Each structure stands twice: as C-alpha cells, then as structure tokens.
Structure 1
Amino acid sequence: MASGTIDPSRTTLPSLTDGPHRKRLGVVALIATFGGLLFGYDTGVINGALRPMAAELGLNPFTEGVVTSSLIFAAAIGAMFCGRLADGWGRRKTIILLAVLFFVGTVFVVAAPGLTVLVIGRILLGLAVGGASTVVPVFLAEMAPYEIRGSLAGRNELMIVVGQLAAFVVNAIIGNTLGHLDGVWRIMFAICALPAIALFFGMLRVPESPRWLMEKGREAEALAVLRSVRSEDRAVAEMRDLERIAAEEAGETRLGWRAIFSNRNLLKILLIGVGVGIAQQLTGINSIMYFGQTVLVESGFDERAALVANIAPGVIAVIGAVIALAMMDRFDRRKTFITGLALTTSSHLLIGLASMALPVGHPLRPWVILFLVVLFVGSMQTFLNVAVWVYLSEIFPLHMRGFGMGFSVFMLWVTNGFLSLYFLSLVDAVGITGTFYLFAAVGLVALLFVWRFVPETRGRTLEELEEDVTTGAIYLLEK
C-alpha cells in the first residue's frame, strides 16, 4: 500500500457529514486550543519583556538566561508528567488543571519582587506550557475523525503562533507607548490571565476524549461523546472499532515504560517520535521566537525598531500555520517534513551568506537578514511546526500515547531549553554567520533522519495506526 493512501478493506466508516455535531466538534477544538494560545503567549512574551525586566530587577546575562530557560526546562517536566497524568486522570481534567497553573504562574510573575519569585512563576508557567504541548494535541487527535485529524489537531499549533504574534504585538505597543513606566513588563505578562480564565471555564463544558473513556471501560460515556460530535451512523461505526481494539487488548498487560523500552516496535516508534521532536527544535525556530529582537539588533536595527520589526516573523508564522492546516489532510507527513527541512536548511545557509556578504554597518544588512528570517519562519511554520505536533499526537498506540507523547515532547523541550540557555552565547562567540551555518549542518542530518526512518501516518485511523505500530507493519509500508 502506498504511503498516505486509505485502504478500503480496513477503513469502512461512513463518510463525514455536516450538521450540529460538526459545529460542536469545532467549538470543542476552539476551547481546547486556548491551551495553545497560552503556550504561545507565555513563550513569546519574554522576547520583548526581558530587557525592561532585567533593568528593573538588576538581572545580569546569566540570570536573564535563568529566567528564560526556567520556563523551558519546566516545560520538559510538565510534558512528561502531564502525559502520564492525562493517561490516568483524563485529558479533560488535566487541561483544566493546566488552566489553573497558567493563572497562578501569571500571578507569581506579575507580582514578583525579585528573581526568586519570578523564577517560581516562570516554572509554574513552564509546567503548564509543557503539559499543554502534550495533552491538547492528543485530546484533539482523539476527538477528530481520521479524515480531518491533521487539520483539527493542527489548530493547536495555529493558536500557538497566534499567541506568539499577540505577545509580539502587545510588546511592541506597550514597549513603545508605556516603555517609560517602571514595571511595564508586568503589564505584558498580566494579559496572559485572560485566556487562562477562558480555558478553565470553557473546559468545564467540554466532554472527555471518547478513546480515553473506552480505555477505562466507560463504553456508554464514550458512545455518548461520539454521538455529540459525529453523525449517528458514524458514531456507532467508530464505537465498533474502539470495541474491537479494546477486545484485542483485553488480555494484554498494560505496558509501563520498562515494557515499552523492551518491545522493539514500540521502542522504535518512541525513538522516531523523539527524533522528530528534536529535529524540529534544532532548526533554531524557538531561538528566533525567544530572542528575535536580539538577533535583529545584532543584524543592525536599533532596539525599538527591532521590537517592531520582530512582529514580521510572528505574522508570517500565523500565515504559514493557516496554509499548513489547509495542506495537512492533503499531503503526506513525510513529504511535508522533507520539504520543510530542505527549505529551513536553505534559509540558514542564506542567512549565513548574507551576514558574510553584508558587513556590520551596511545599510542593507538588517533588512536582508530580516527578510531571510521571515523566510525561515514561514518555511518552518508551513511545513514543519504544525506537521510535527500532529504527527506526535497520532503515531503512538493508545496504551502508551500519553507516555510516548510526553517523553517525545520532554526531549523536545530539553533540546529547546539548552538552545535557549546557550543561543545568545553562541551568537556572541561565532556571530550570526557561524550560528546559522551550524543550524544548516544540523538540518542536513535531520533531513537524512526523516528520509530514512520516519513512517507515513496520513490516511489511517488511530486504531489502524495502533495495529501497524504494534505489529511493526508501519515500517514495511512503501515510503
């Protein structure tokens, strides 16, 4: 069977239909993706808040790195812990807990009198960000029909970049109008409380994942949820698939992490998930999103102009995410990854060449580098960011989905954390030229990894993917 095609002998579900159930599914997805919006805002706001924060609290370069990376390393822990928590406690309840963490973390940061309380607040926000990065995509993937799973689960990434763009715009407006006030950075962070409140109250009205309910033996509740977001015949047909998988697994021992690591097929898919997540981070995308203002200052903009220019990558990220959602259910994941890595690696090379050809002080240098950074972010968002989060939400069997997603995202965040901790030092040591040449070299390795090891997932239900991964058949399908 060719990759990405639907095998009619296996996929016999009734076609999707429009109606109130389809609108209900859209509302559920919108509410859940407020977790992505918070993810984006909390990771992006530091881009413009760091300089006034450092000035008020007397931070040095090391403590600036601590403040920035504390959220990211905490996100790694949150991703792992919340993945396991969502398996046992439920996707919905875990997201409600994350909303509380987002709000409490925001209060700590806004009220912080000094470094210690500030870092505690950033850690709480990091736990929430990491949890949202794991649980929300899984929840969306499990709620979605397989035909639109890519575009529905991918909405979370769209909300992430909308959140980052909102942070950049808020930073630019507040920084250029209220920048003379003490504590202006606190206003930038305080805005985060609003979507946290919306997520909390919204999730109280959202149903649990039917696949999680089925795994816990709550068949009647699972069918009721399916009937609320599917047509009647489709809900019943999907329920039969869930019952079949449950019956096949009834006699199996539930797998802990030791069993996963000792099973060749499950270990392989786990390593692929980890590899895809790390490859995404090693493009350097979040270094641009966190330190874009610094990169633009290094290229030749003054600080206030860089704050405004930094909105451009945020805008292109949102445009790219919209395009990605339109493509997600039409193009294979592997082809999307390969295209994205080829474009981002080329962008890195061009940035390195431009910084060599246009020395510091050249009037065209800042504008050319800004254009190439926008090209990089657009390529990344269109072909990689959305696709990676969708891919991680769908490749793992149900009995290890929380752990597999959590561990993969844990490694993704650890990679992100080390890049964030050392990125500015790297730019200081080897300049923009060396930094982006290094990203290009890593991009080539990632491209080879995807071409050689990453299997296709588009066009198959989660239950079919579970069978293929468990038996190893997914690695035998034509790539």
Structure 2
Amino acid sequence: MTGKPDGPAFSRENPSVSPRRGVLAAAIGTAALAGLLFGFDTAVIAGVTGDLTALFALTPETLGITVSAALWGTLVGALFAGKPGDAFGSRDSLRVLAILYFVAGLGCALAPGWTSFLAFRFICGLAIGGSSVLAPVYIAEIAPPRHRGFLVGLFQLMIVTGILVAYLSNATIAGLVGGETAWRWKLGVTAAPALLFFILLFAIPNSPRWLLAKGRRDEAGMAMARIGAPTAELDRIEEALERDPPGEKLSWHRHRRPMMLAILIAMFNQLAGINAVLYYLNDIFARAGSLSPDRQAVMIGVANLVFTLAGMALIDRLGRKTLLLAGAAGMTLCLAAAAGVLFGALGTGLMLPALIGFIAFFATSQGAVIWVYISEIFPTPVRARGSALGASTHWLMNALIAGIFPVLVAWSPGAPFAIFAAAMVVQFVVVAAVFPETKGVDLDEMAQRIE
C-alpha cells in the first residue's frame, strides 16, 4: 500500500463511498472538537492570572503552581488514557472526558478558595491530557491515508481555534462584566462547549480498527459502512493485526523506534516554549512595554489560527519531516529576536513581530505535525498506549516549563527565550538525523516504514 497510499476504502472509483462521507466528516469533526476544549481550557488561564494573583496573594512561585496545576493533570490524564482507550475505545473514553471538562469548568468558576481552584484545574487537566491522546488516535484510525495528515491536523486547528476563542472570550467578558467576578465568568463559560461535545459523541461510530482488534467483526463491518468504507477493508486490517496481534503490550524491545520518536517530538514541541508563551502572553507584552497586552494576545491568536491552516495545507504535500526542519530554523531566529528585546539589546517594537513569526513557524511545523506523527507511528494494538507515551511526555515538559518560566523571567526576562532558541537548533539536527517521513503511508504498513 505504500506505493498507492489511498486504499480502496476511499477510492474515487467507488460510488458507494460518497453518500457516507457525511458520517465520516461528522465523526472527524466531533473528535476534533476535543481540540477546541483543549485549547480553550488551556489558554483561558492567561486572562485570569492577574485576578488570581491579587485574590490569592500569589508569589511568582505560587503563580507557577497555579498555572501548572492543570498541566500536571494533563500529564496524569495522558499517561493513563492509553489503557482505557485500547480497552473501551477512543469514542467511549472521550465521553468520560467530556464530563470531566464540564465539571472542571463549573468547578473553577465556583471555587471558594485557592486549594479548590487547584483541584478543579487538575481535573480539567485530566480531560485535556486524555483527549490529546484519544481524539487524534480516533481520527487517524478512520481517516483515509492520503488525507490523514490534514484530517488529524483538524485536531490541532481546533486547539488553536480554542486558544483564540479563549482570548476573545476573556476580552469580551472583561468588557461586559466588571469587578471581582469577571474571572469566574471567564472560566465558567468553558462548560458550554463541553456539554455540546458530550452530546455529539453519541452520534458517531466506534473506530472499525478498534472493533476488529477486539474481535467484533460484525460491528466493525457496520462501522465501516457508516463511514463509507467497503467491508473488504476488514481483510486487510486483519492481516495487519496478525503481524501485531491484539493484546500485545507496548514494549521497548519491540517498539523502540516509534517510542523514541514519540518522546523526541513531544519534548521538542515544548522546548520551543510555545505553551509558556501562550500562558504568560499578557505578562510578556507588559514587560516588553509595547501595545495593549489584551489586543496583542488576540493578534497572536489570529496568527496561530492562520498559520495552522497553512501547516494543514502543507503537511500532506511537503511531508512531516520537511515542516519540522523548516520550523526549527525559523523558530530559532524568532526566539533569539524575542530574547534580544527582553535583554534590552533590541527595541520593544520588535517583540510583536518576533512572537508572530515564532507562532507562524511553530504552527506550520510542530503545531501541525505533533499529534499527526504520534498518532500514526504505532501499530493498532498499542496505538492508544503509544500515543499516551508521547502525549504524557509532552505534558510533563509542559508542566515543568510552565512552572519554571515565571521564576526564570523574574531572574532574567530574556533567559527563557535564549534557552528555547538553543533547543530549536538541537531539534533541527535530531530531526534531520533520525526522523523518517510518514507522509501517505498506510497505518497498517507503518511499522515496516518506521523500522
């Protein structure tokens, strides 16, 4: 299938496919909605850090704990999402996560004190971490190989859309709701899309690959029919499962290469500094002393969305590896410029262009690639657990960097950006040396390509 990546399930010559494309689109769109919640709930904290600092008398250290509380939850959620995902399926596991999103949104809004606020943000993190594993896996398993990069990339598009929605929501609520309750409204509105996500999950099928791995062939056939794929595809998937039998455990001995790749891409994603920048965006602009922090945050969010769309358009044309290399080179230059501004060596007017450039290179490379790459490099029986390894590495680095970032900035504002720039130089070298290209490769033949 490597030479002809678009399998018969989605062939143009198959007239039976078209009437079912709506179900496929709805299934992918619903799973991608997890990305909206991911982005919204992750970035909304940027608009309330000042309120929380004043209300709870936070120091730079306790502010770091407050912001990273959700991130430690994401680590736990990502780490443990793989087993229920493999056991109960991504779709049903996402239903549980939708409930956690809803409870966390209302809980944060109504939290009576700092401790309870941390607890609900941790619960929110469980949902974010779990969905970062299971939603891309679900999409990857039902997407046609030729368009898999674009379709799994919808998850990342929804993440950055959620980030932009968070910035717009924060700015809108700040203008409409005054006083001490504004921050509660900013956090509480996240419960609405969580409820919608929960309802929509009851209208989409289970992954046919997961059903077949569980020995539920009749149900797999019905799921195949619902998404517009002929049941003949089941035979090819069963052949792949013979090479990687159901019930197989994720092990370093057998899956060393995909495990190493998942860990590396997740580490470099966070060593770029993207989430530290997004979490503390208003504080960064305030230190740079330029335009309105809220206005510039929205501009950054728009840039993130636009260039994520560019990355999605390029990922199945140029390939994953090419985007990672180009992005590493561009991010190095932009992060170095931002460090220069904060060190006082460059004018403050360069801060916004430097960060927009950084966002542009990140969104078209690491942002577009990470969830696609992690979700496609593992065999079907261990895909959710393998993805959990990559996602948990991502969230561990995220939590560590978010917790350390305000302390480093208090010591030297430009230091974190200099460190991020150096990390991108290392990424360029490592990707060039060890990362294989996965563009267009069928999931059931990915193991041979990776090895």
Counterpart residue identity of residue 422, structure 2: A
Q: Secondary structure at the match of 1:329?
A: helix
Counterpart residue identity of residue 429, structure 2: L
Percentage of matched positions with identical amino acids: 29
The change in CA–CA distance for 1:105 and 1:355 in structure 2 (over 3 A counts) is closer
Q: Measure how far apart 1:177 and its partner are.
A: 4.1
Distance 1:393 1:15 in 2: 20
Q: Measure how far apart 1:171 and its partner are.
A: 1.2
Q: Secondary structure at the match of 1:235?
A: coil
Q: 1:455 aligns with which of 436, 439, 449?
A: 436
- Of stretches 381-390 and 130-139 in structure 1, the one that deviates more from structure 2 is 381-390
Per the alignment, residue 450 of structure 2 pairs with 474
TM-score (norm 2): 0.95
Q: Secondary structure at the match of 2:412?
A: helix
Counterpart residue identity of residue 335, structure 1: T
Q: 1:235 aligns with which of 230, 233, 256?
A: 230
Per the alignment, residue 171 of structure 1 pairs with 170
Per the alignment, residue 256 of structure 1 pairs with 249
The change in CA–CA distance for 1:188 and 1:97 in structure 2 (over 3 A counts) is same
Alignment of 1:118-129 (within 5 A): 118-129=117-128
Distance 1:275 1:217 in 2: 33
Distance 2:135 2:9 in 1: 27
Alignment of 1:154-233 (within 5 A): 154-178=153-177, 180-230=178-228
Counterpart residue identity of residue 296, structure 1: F
| 8 Å contact kept, 1:56–1:183 | no
4+ residue segments displaced more than 6 Å: none
**Deviation digits for residues 61-82 of structure 1 (CA, Å, limit 9, x no counterpart):** 3322211101001101100111
Distance 2:388 2:157 in 1: 20
Q: Secondary structure at the match of 2:8?
A: coil
| 8 Å contact kept, 2:60–2:407 | no
The change in CA–CA distance for 1:368 and 1:218 in structure 2 (over 3 A counts) is same
Distance 1:145 1:378 in 2: 27
Distance 1:414 1:319 in 2: 28
| 8 Å contact kept, 2:82–2:388 | yes
- Of stretches 149-158 and 241-250 in structure 1, the one that deviates more from structure 2 is 241-250
Alignment of 1:383-402 (within 5 A): 383-402=365-384
Distance 1:284 1:268 in 2: 25
2:446 maps to 1:465: yes
Number of aligned residue pairs: give it: 447
| 8 Å contact kept, 1:150–1:390 | yes
Counterpart residue identity of residue 200, structure 2: G
| 8 Å contact kept, 1:213–1:221 | yes
- Of stretches 12-21 and 457-466 in structure 1, the one that deviates more from structure 2 is 12-21
Q: Measure how far apart 1:453 and its partner are.
A: 1.1
Distance 1:14 1:193 in 2: 37
The change in CA–CA distance for 1:398 and 1:354 in structure 2 (over 3 A counts) is same
Backbone CA RMSD of aligned residues: 1.8
Distance 2:7 2:123 in 1: 45
| 8 Å contact kept, 1:37–1:160 | yes
Distance 1:460 1:340 in 2: 22
**Deviation digits for residues 180-199 of structure 1 (CA, Å, limit 9, x no counterpart):** 41121110011111110011
**Deviation digits for residues 277-327 of structure 1 (CA, Å, limit 9, x no counterpart):** 11011000001111111111111137xx11221111110010011111211
Q: Measure how far apart 1:138 and its partner are.
A: 0.4
| 8 Å contact kept, 1:40–1:162 | yes
Counterpart residue identity of residue 420, structure 1: A
| 8 Å contact kept, 1:313–1:378 | no
| 8 Å contact kept, 1:282–1:443 | yes
Q: Measure how far apart 1:357 and its partner are.
A: 5.8
Q: Measure how far apart 1:329 and its partner are.
A: 1.7
Alignment of 1:29-428 (within 5 A): 29-178=28-177, 180-230=178-228, 234-250=229-245, 254-257=247-250, 260-263=251-254, 266-301=255-290, 305-356=292-343, 358=345, 365=348, 367-428=349-410
Distance 1:423 1:326 in 2: 33
Distance 2:444 2:221 in 1: 16
| 8 Å contact kept, 1:34–1:198 | no
| 8 Å contact kept, 1:52–1:183 | no
Counterpart residue identity of residue 254, structure 1: G
Distance 1:451 1:120 in 2: 42
Distance 1:156 1:247 in 2: 30
2:399 maps to 1:441: no
| 8 Å contact kept, 1:154–1:387 | yes
Distance 1:115 1:217 in 2: 48
| 8 Å contact kept, 2:241–2:381 | no
**Deviation digits for residues 227-272 of structure 1 (CA, Å, limit 9, x no counterpart):** 1112xxx52342221121234445xx83334xx1233xx1121011
The change in CA–CA distance for 1:249 and 1:357 in structure 2 (over 3 A counts) is closer
The change in CA–CA distance for 1:340 and 1:156 in structure 2 (over 3 A counts) is same
Counterpart residue identity of residue 336, structure 1: L
| 8 Å contact kept, 2:6–2:144 | no
Q: Measure how far apart 1:220 and its partner are.
A: 1.2
**Deviation digits for residues 406-437 of structure 1 (CA, Å, limit 9, x no counterpart):** 011111100000100011111221222x3222
Distance 1:245 1:276 in 2: 26
Distance 1:429 1:399 in 2: 47
Counterpart residue identity of residue 405, structure 2: F
